[in-house]
A and B are shown apart, each in its own frame.
Chain A
Amino acid sequence: GDSVTQMEGPVTLSEEAFLTINCTYTATGYPSLFWYVQYPGEGLQLLLKATKADDKGSNKGFEATYRKETTSFHLEKGSVQVSDSAVYFCALSDRAAGNKLTFGGGTRVLVKP
Protein backbone atom coordinates (compact mmCIF):
# COMPACT_ATOMS: atom_id res chain seq x y z
CA GLY A 1 0.00 0.00 0.00
CA ASP A 2 0.86 3.67 -0.10
CA SER A 3 3.16 5.10 2.52
CA VAL A 4 5.02 8.30 3.34
CA THR A 5 8.20 8.47 5.40
CA GLN A 6 9.55 11.70 6.78
CA MET A 7 12.38 12.52 9.11
CA GLU A 8 11.60 12.35 12.77
CA GLY A 9 11.87 15.46 14.85
CA PRO A 10 12.09 17.53 16.68
CA VAL A 11 14.21 19.75 14.50
CA THR A 12 15.55 22.72 16.45
CA LEU A 13 16.94 25.69 14.55
CA SER A 14 17.97 29.27 15.14
CA GLU A 15 16.13 32.08 13.39
CA GLU A 16 17.35 32.67 9.81
CA ALA A 17 18.76 29.14 9.54
CA PHE A 18 18.12 26.87 6.54
CA LEU A 19 15.45 24.22 6.98
CA THR A 20 15.19 20.89 5.18
CA ILE A 21 12.66 18.19 6.01
CA ASN A 22 13.13 14.97 4.07
CA CYS A 23 10.13 13.08 2.69
CA THR A 24 10.03 9.92 0.60
CA TYR A 25 7.02 7.97 -0.57
CA THR A 26 5.81 4.63 -1.88
CA ALA A 27 2.75 4.53 -4.12
CA THR A 28 1.17 2.04 -6.49
CA GLY A 29 0.07 4.74 -8.89
CA TYR A 30 1.30 8.17 -9.85
CA PRO A 31 0.46 10.33 -6.83
CA SER A 32 0.06 13.99 -6.10
CA LEU A 33 2.24 15.22 -3.24
CA PHE A 34 1.52 17.74 -0.49
CA TRP A 35 3.01 19.45 2.52
CA TYR A 36 0.69 20.45 5.34
CA VAL A 37 1.52 22.50 8.43
CA GLN A 38 -0.12 22.27 11.86
CA TYR A 39 0.40 25.15 14.28
CA PRO A 40 -0.16 24.44 17.99
CA GLY A 41 -3.81 23.82 18.81
CA GLU A 42 -4.94 24.20 15.22
CA GLY A 43 -5.96 22.04 12.29
CA LEU A 44 -3.82 21.26 9.27
CA GLN A 45 -3.28 23.86 6.59
CA LEU A 46 -2.18 23.11 3.06
CA LEU A 47 1.29 24.62 2.59
CA LEU A 48 2.11 23.56 -0.97
CA LYS A 49 1.53 20.82 -3.50
CA ALA A 50 2.85 19.26 -6.71
CA THR A 51 0.85 17.05 -9.05
CA LYS A 52 3.46 15.71 -11.48
CA ALA A 53 7.15 14.92 -11.75
CA ASP A 54 9.54 17.89 -11.63
CA ASP A 55 6.78 20.25 -10.47
CA LYS A 56 7.90 22.66 -7.77
CA GLY A 57 5.39 23.72 -5.15
CA SER A 58 6.08 26.94 -3.27
CA ASN A 59 4.39 29.11 -0.65
CA LYS A 60 5.49 31.49 2.14
CA GLY A 61 9.17 30.94 1.29
CA PHE A 62 8.84 27.14 1.44
CA GLU A 63 9.61 25.00 -1.60
CA ALA A 64 9.45 21.32 -2.53
CA THR A 65 10.17 19.57 -5.84
CA TYR A 66 8.45 16.34 -6.96
CA ARG A 67 11.31 13.93 -7.73
CA LYS A 68 9.93 10.77 -9.32
CA GLU A 69 13.34 9.15 -9.78
CA THR A 70 14.07 9.30 -6.05
CA THR A 71 10.40 9.18 -4.93
CA SER A 72 11.01 12.24 -2.80
CA PHE A 73 9.40 15.59 -1.98
CA HIS A 74 11.76 17.34 0.44
CA LEU A 75 10.63 20.61 2.02
CA GLU A 76 13.06 23.54 2.20
CA LYS A 77 13.09 27.11 3.45
CA GLY A 78 16.09 29.37 3.18
CA SER A 79 15.59 31.50 6.30
CA VAL A 80 13.19 30.36 9.02
CA GLN A 81 11.38 32.56 11.50
CA VAL A 82 10.09 31.85 15.00
CA SER A 83 6.59 31.85 13.50
CA ASP A 84 7.53 28.78 11.41
CA SER A 85 7.55 26.65 14.55
CA ALA A 86 4.96 23.95 13.87
CA VAL A 87 4.51 20.31 12.88
CA TYR A 88 4.98 19.65 9.17
CA PHE A 89 3.31 16.71 7.40
CA CYS A 90 4.20 15.26 4.03
CA ALA A 91 1.29 13.52 2.29
CA LEU A 92 0.29 11.85 -0.95
CA SER A 93 -2.95 11.32 -2.80
CA ASP A 94 -3.07 8.30 -5.09
CA ARG A 95 -5.88 7.65 -7.57
CA ALA A 96 -5.17 3.91 -7.33
CA ALA A 97 -6.01 4.10 -3.61
CA GLY A 98 -9.25 6.03 -4.04
CA ASN A 99 -7.55 9.42 -3.79
CA LYS A 100 -7.38 9.34 -0.02
CA LEU A 101 -4.67 11.47 1.56
CA THR A 102 -1.96 9.36 3.24
CA PHE A 103 0.25 11.22 5.72
CA GLY A 104 3.76 10.81 7.01
CA GLY A 105 4.33 10.82 10.74
CA GLY A 106 4.95 14.56 10.98
CA THR A 107 8.11 16.52 11.86
CA ARG A 108 8.06 19.03 14.68
CA VAL A 109 10.13 22.13 13.98
CA LEU A 110 11.14 24.54 16.71
CA VAL A 111 12.75 27.84 15.73
CA LYS A 112 14.50 29.74 18.50
CA PRO A 113 15.16 33.48 18.42
Chain B
Amino acid sequence: DTAVSQTPKYLVTQMGNDKSIKCEQNLGHDTMYWYKQDSKKFLKIMFSYNNKELIINETVPNRFSPKSPDKAHLNLHINSLELGDSAVYFCASSRGVGQGEGYTFGSGTRLTVV
Protein backbone atom coordinates (compact mmCIF):
# COMPACT_ATOMS: atom_id res chain seq x y z
CA ASP B 1 0.00 0.00 0.00
CA THR B 2 1.15 3.54 -0.69
CA ALA B 3 1.34 5.33 2.63
CA VAL B 4 3.26 7.01 5.37
CA SER B 5 4.19 4.34 7.88
CA GLN B 6 5.55 4.84 11.37
CA THR B 7 7.01 2.38 13.83
CA PRO B 8 6.37 1.57 16.55
CA LYS B 9 2.67 2.31 16.98
CA TYR B 10 2.97 2.26 20.78
CA LEU B 11 6.04 2.97 22.90
CA VAL B 12 6.13 2.80 26.69
CA THR B 13 9.43 3.65 28.32
CA GLN B 14 10.96 4.96 31.53
CA MET B 15 12.16 8.48 32.19
CA GLY B 16 15.75 9.04 31.17
CA ASN B 17 15.77 6.46 28.39
CA ASP B 18 16.64 7.19 24.75
CA LYS B 19 14.23 6.06 22.05
CA SER B 20 13.68 6.39 18.30
CA ILE B 21 10.60 6.53 16.10
CA LYS B 22 10.93 5.64 12.44
CA CYS B 23 8.96 6.99 9.50
CA GLU B 24 8.91 5.96 5.87
CA GLN B 25 6.86 7.16 2.92
CA ASN B 26 6.55 5.47 -0.46
CA LEU B 27 4.58 8.28 -2.11
CA GLY B 28 7.61 9.84 -3.81
CA HIS B 29 7.12 13.01 -1.77
CA ASP B 30 10.01 15.45 -1.28
CA THR B 31 9.07 16.89 2.10
CA MET B 32 8.54 15.16 5.44
CA TYR B 33 7.42 16.43 8.84
CA TRP B 34 7.12 15.54 12.51
CA TYR B 35 4.15 16.80 14.52
CA LYS B 36 3.38 16.37 18.22
CA GLN B 37 -0.23 15.96 19.40
CA ASP B 38 -0.79 16.53 23.10
CA SER B 39 -3.50 15.08 25.33
CA LYS B 40 -5.91 17.86 24.33
CA LYS B 41 -5.46 16.97 20.63
CA PHE B 42 -3.47 20.13 19.91
CA LEU B 43 -1.07 19.61 16.99
CA LYS B 44 2.24 21.42 16.73
CA ILE B 45 4.95 21.08 14.10
CA MET B 46 8.40 20.06 15.30
CA PHE B 47 10.55 19.58 12.20
CA SER B 48 10.39 19.54 8.43
CA TYR B 49 12.86 18.16 5.87
CA ASN B 50 12.88 18.77 2.14
CA ASN B 51 15.07 16.39 0.14
CA LYS B 52 17.04 15.54 3.28
CA GLU B 53 17.59 19.20 4.18
CA LEU B 54 16.18 20.64 7.40
CA ILE B 55 13.84 23.52 6.55
CA ILE B 56 11.70 23.92 9.67
CA ASN B 57 12.99 23.55 13.21
CA GLU B 58 10.50 24.85 15.72
CA THR B 59 11.30 25.57 19.35
CA VAL B 60 11.90 22.00 20.41
CA PRO B 61 14.30 20.82 23.16
CA ASN B 62 17.60 19.68 21.67
CA ARG B 63 16.92 16.26 23.21
CA PHE B 64 14.88 15.76 20.04
CA SER B 65 16.98 15.11 16.95
CA PRO B 66 15.55 14.30 13.54
CA LYS B 67 17.52 12.39 10.97
CA SER B 68 16.74 11.95 7.28
CA PRO B 69 18.98 9.35 5.59
CA ASP B 70 17.11 9.82 2.32
CA LYS B 71 14.01 11.66 1.20
CA ALA B 72 11.77 8.67 1.89
CA HIS B 73 12.74 8.41 5.56
CA LEU B 74 12.59 10.79 8.52
CA ASN B 75 13.39 9.35 11.92
CA LEU B 76 13.03 11.02 15.32
CA HIS B 77 15.44 10.28 18.13
CA ILE B 78 14.67 11.44 21.66
CA ASN B 79 17.30 11.50 24.41
CA SER B 80 16.72 11.55 28.16
CA LEU B 81 12.96 11.13 27.92
CA GLU B 82 10.81 13.17 30.31
CA LEU B 83 7.23 12.73 31.49
CA GLY B 84 6.17 15.76 29.41
CA ASP B 85 7.28 14.01 26.24
CA SER B 86 4.27 11.71 26.50
CA ALA B 87 2.14 12.44 23.43
CA VAL B 88 1.21 11.08 20.03
CA TYR B 89 3.85 11.83 17.38
CA PHE B 90 2.75 12.01 13.76
CA CYS B 91 4.94 11.81 10.71
CA ALA B 92 3.65 13.38 7.49
CA SER B 93 4.80 14.02 3.94
CA SER B 94 3.89 16.32 1.07
CA ARG B 95 4.81 16.54 -2.59
CA GLY B 96 6.67 19.79 -2.15
CA VAL B 97 6.72 22.93 -0.08
CA GLY B 98 4.05 24.67 -2.12
CA GLN B 99 1.43 26.08 0.17
CA GLY B 100 -1.43 24.41 -1.67
CA GLU B 101 -0.10 20.94 -0.95
CA GLY B 102 -1.92 18.94 1.65
CA TYR B 103 -0.02 16.54 3.87
CA THR B 104 -0.38 12.76 4.09
CA PHE B 105 -0.12 11.63 7.71
CA GLY B 106 1.01 8.40 9.28
CA SER B 107 -1.17 6.71 11.88
CA GLY B 108 0.89 8.02 14.78
CA THR B 109 3.15 6.72 17.55
CA ARG B 110 1.73 6.94 21.06
CA LEU B 111 4.67 7.55 23.40
CA THR B 112 4.11 7.07 27.12
CA VAL B 113 6.92 7.97 29.51
CA VAL B 114 6.56 6.52 33.00
A residues neighboring B (CB under 8 Å): 31-32, 34, 36, 38, 42-46, 49, 51, 87, 89, 93-95, 98-103, 105-106, 108
Contact = CB atoms under 8 A, between A and B. Distances in A.
B102 A43 contact: no
B48 A100 contact: yes
B101 interface: yes
A45 B56 contact: no
A92 to B, nearest CB: 9
A105 B103 contact: no
Interface of B: 4, 33, 40-45, 48, 55-56, 90, 92, 97-108
A44 B55 contact: no
Main secondary structure of the interface of A (DSSP, over half): strand
Given A43-B108, A93-B101, A100 B45 contact: yes
A79 B92 CA distance: 31
Most A C-beta atoms less than 10 A away, residue of B42, B44, B97, B101: B101
A95 B101 CA distance: 11
B105 A89 contact: no
A46 B43 contact: no
B105 A44 contact: yes
Contacts of B43: 44, 89, 103, 106
Contacts of B42: 103, 105-106
A51 B99 CA distance: 8
A31 B99 contact: yes
Contacts of A99: 97-99, 101
A108 to B, nearest CB: 8
B99 A93 contact: yes
A43 B106 CA distance: 6
Given A98-B55, A98-B56, A100-B45, A46 B99 contact: no
Nearest to B97: A99
A47 B45 CA distance: 19
Contact of B105 (A31, A45, A49): A45
A39 to B, nearest CB: 10
Nearest to A87: B41
Nearest to A105: B42
11 contacts: A32-B99, A43-B4, A51-B99, A93-B99, A93-B101, A99-B97, A101-B103, A102-B45, A105-B42, A106-B42, A106-B43
